[in-house]
């Protein structure tokens, strides 16, 4: 009926079609895309007394991420390429003085590796992680390095 070679070609063809379709399908936006408002009561904002309010808007296209923030009454915008490569850049308050050296996706979380300090004070590496909740209603921003703490945001309805 069919030779083994013909069956092998048909099998490869049938397996390749879904793989090609999946690779060309548009990527789903990460769960942290949207507008978020700082929840002061559940955040370590007391450690950052200069932050009274913060609203952030996160957009993402492929590996490009943009975060716009209004902290108190000051606006800032940062952009990352979430590919794990090392580059210079800034982040939004409270660590806006830090140099971001890499950004990458870890599942639904955006992970930033930052270097803070100077030759006079010493240099530290801090990992900042932006993680949405499973239900997509809250976003937790945590830092670890010399200390671990976090701040929490609520998603603003579209």
pTM more than 0.75: no
Q: What is the band of 144 on the pLDDT scale with cuts at 50, 70, 90?
A: confident
User: Is residue 107 in some structural domain?
Assistant: yes
pLDDT for res 13: 39
User: Is residue 103 in some structural domain?
Assistant: yes
User: Is residue 4 in some structural domain?
Assistant: no
What b/e string do you get for 3-34 counting C-beta neighbours within 10 Å, with b at 16 or more?
A: eeeeeeeeeeeeeeeeeeeeeeeeeeebbbbb
Contact between 131 and 139 under an 8 Å Cβ cutoff? The reply is yes
CATH for 53:
2.40.128.20
Mean pLDDT of the chain: 75
The pLDDT tens digits of the residues spanning 2-27 come to 555 444 443 333 343 333 333 333 34
User: Is residue 55 in some structural domain?
Assistant: yes
The vertex-156 CA angle with 153 and 158, nearest 5°, equals 150
User: Is residue 146 in some structural domain?
Assistant: yes
The pLDDT tens digits of the residues spanning 62-75 come to 889 999 999 888 89
- Report how many domains make up the chain: 1
User: Is residue 43 in some structural domain?
Assistant: yes
The pLDDT tens digits of the residues spanning 36-95 come to 999 876 665 556 657 788 999 999 998 899 999 998 888 989 888 999 998 877 766 665
User: Is residue 122 in some structural domain?
Assistant: yes
Residue 96 has pLDDT above 70, yes or no: no
Beta strands in 50-137 (DSSP E): 54-61, 64-71, 74-81, 99-106, 109-118, 122-132
Per the structure, the complete domain to which residue 98 belongs is given by 27-155
């Amino acid at each position: 009926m069919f030779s083994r070679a013909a069956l092998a070609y048909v099998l490869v063809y049938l397996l390749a079609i879904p793989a090609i379709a999946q690779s060309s399908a548009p990527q789903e936006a990460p769960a942290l895309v949207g507008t978020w408002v700082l929840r002061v009561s559940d955040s370590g904002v007391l450690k950052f007394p200069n932050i009274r309010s913060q609203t952030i808007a996160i957009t993402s296209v492929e590996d490009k991420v943009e975060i716009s923030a209004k902290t108190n009454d000051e606006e800032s915008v940062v952009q990352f390429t979430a590919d794990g490569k090392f580059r210079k850049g800034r982040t939004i308050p409270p660590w806006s003085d830090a140099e971001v050296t890499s950004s990458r996706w870890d599942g639904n979380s955006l992970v930033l590796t930052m270097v803070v300090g100077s030759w006079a004070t010493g240099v530290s590496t801090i990992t900042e992680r932006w993680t949405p909740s499973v239900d997509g209603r809250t976003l937790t921003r945590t830092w670890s390095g010399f200390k671990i703490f976090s701040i929490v945001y609520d998603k603003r309805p579209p």
